[in-house]
Amino acid sequence: MLLIFHDTASASDYVSSTLIEKVRTKPKAVLGLATGGTMEPIYARFVEQALRLQLDVSGLTTFNLDEYVGLRPDHPKSYAAYMHHHLFRHLKFDRARLHLPDGLSTDLDSHSLDYSAKVERCGGIDLQLLGVGGNGHIGFNEPGTPFDSRCHVVQLSERTRMDNSRFFDSGATVPASAITMGMSDIIQAREIVLVATGESKAEIVAEWYENGVTEAIPFTLLKRHTRAKIVLDDAAASLLPDSVRRSRASA
Ligand code: F6R
């Protein structure tokens, strides 16, 4: 299902309310979480709503999609630090139920396998949040990643490292590799909400729309999921055909 909102704030409000509803109906839900600029206004809104509603998040289990290899959890640019800053520190989560891949593991391959297995042991993901990279990656599954992949170590493409350099201080280098949940882990989630906002996502959203399911554009795999929502703002939807934009403009 494609939902187009007027601006980033209303798209973020919608996603936050979807999360709130999930927690209310299933307080022990397993959530798949993402990082990145797209998620920041969503987590900010979620924290605000959850505090106002006194939502109990202590029963939730979370699995983050990815983490850079080589960054300590307290490194300010690690995804562990991002999650702490934007979400975890604000609400009373049960810390033992919050999971991120460990980019410092001495055996990254077996750690990755364990991570996929742990998701399964926890009953699988109820609701997976996703952003999308400018090249169509989801998690850090770069174009060409096999659809049957499980959690694994990935060499980041130059494009992704360049896109993400905006989060690093000038002069600091973006790590060359990361651990990411695989395409198969992601698509097994019972429900998926992918969010793309801003002009920089317009081209990949148009490519997603025009193409069939192809490993060259990882994001297209979501077309096979019966409960996947693609949430856009007007800017990200700006290169979609007018007919699509008009027919979806009611969101
Ligand atoms: C982050 C992640 C990535 C981002 C994507 C978009 O955990 O999995 O796939 O969602 O790179 O990043 P932003 O939102 O910064 O444009």
Q: Tens digits of per-residue pLDDT, 111-159?
A: 999 999 999 999 999 999 999 999 999 999 999 999 999 999 999 989 8
137 is catalytic: yes
User: What's the pTM?
Assistant: 0.96
Q: Atom 1 in ligand 1: which residue has the minimum CA distance?
A: 35
109 is catalytic: no
One-letter identity of residue 55: L
Q: Atom 4 in ligand 1: which residue has the minimum CA distance?
A: 131
Distances (CA, A) of 188 to 51, 178, 191, 241: 31, 21, 9, 30
Q: From the candidates 86, 126, 141, 142, give the one annotated as an active-site residue.
A: 142
Q: HSE on the CB side for 84, CA within 13 Å?
A: 11
* Eight-class DSSP state of 125: -
- Would you say residue 250 has pLDDT above 60? no
**Tokens of residue 250, six digits:** 């009611």
Binding-site residues, ligand 1, Cβ < 6 A: 34-38, 65-66, 131-133, 137-139
pLDDT band for 196, please (50, 70, 90 cuts).
Answer: very high
116: helix, strand or coil: helix
Q: Which pLDDT value is given to residue 251?
A: 59
pLDDT band for 249, please (50, 70, 90 cuts).
Answer: low
- Tell which one of 43, 82, 140 to mutate to probe ligand 1, the residue whose CB is within 8 A of the most ligand atoms: 140
- Given a contact cutoff of 8 angstroms between Cβ atoms, the answer to whether 103 and 68 are in contact is yes
